[in-house]
Amino acid sequence: MIFINLPVADLARSTAFYEAVGATKNDKFSDDTAACMVLSDVIHVMLLTHDKWKGFTDRAIPDAHAWAQVLLCLSEDSREAVDAVVGKAAQAGGQADPNAVQDYGFMYGRSYADPDGHIWETMWMDAAAVAAGPEAFAADQHQPA
């Protein structure tokens, strides 16, 4: 299992945001200092208040609106699903496309920032590119018919 820990300024706002983009809150591992947001059977995001976060490290919490500390990427089943997730994020108070849209034909990606500035990428890749590798798939696209 993967647990992604993120410091958040407003736990209720961040919980509502992650629910809006499709996560489910696990109340068994949530309280007034943390919310466990389930993205899949194996991926969980732990939203931690700043005070809770400081219990795990002495390092300063960077301003994610100004500094990129990590880029998190999740795949989707289609280009339309990528657009839908970014749309939900924007409607829920996040920022759509803080990074440039990536469209390579066989791969399509967009990003959004949550209310605390943490950047999430969402991408789709053609199944043939996954099986053969993107370089092989791109080369096949340029072969004469």
Output the pTM of the full model: 0.87
Please tell me the predicted confidence (pLDDT) of residue 145: 47
Q: Is 82 exposed, middle or buried (0-12, 13-18, 19+ CB in 10 A)?
A: buried
Residue 109 to residue 99: CA distance in whole angstroms: 10
Q: How many CB atoms lie within 10 A of CB 7?
A: 21
Helix, strand and coil content of the chain, in percent to the nearest 5, comes to 30, 30, 40
Please tell me the predicted confidence (pLDDT) of residue 57: 95
The pLDDT tens digits of the residues spanning 4-50 come to 999 999 999 999 999 999 999 999 999 999 999 999 999 999 999 99
The pLDDT tens digits of the residues spanning 44-69 come to 999 999 999 999 999 999 999 999 88
Please name every residue paired with 3 in a beta bridge, in sequence order, or none if there are none: 44
Q: Which two tokens stand for residue 91?
A: 């409607």
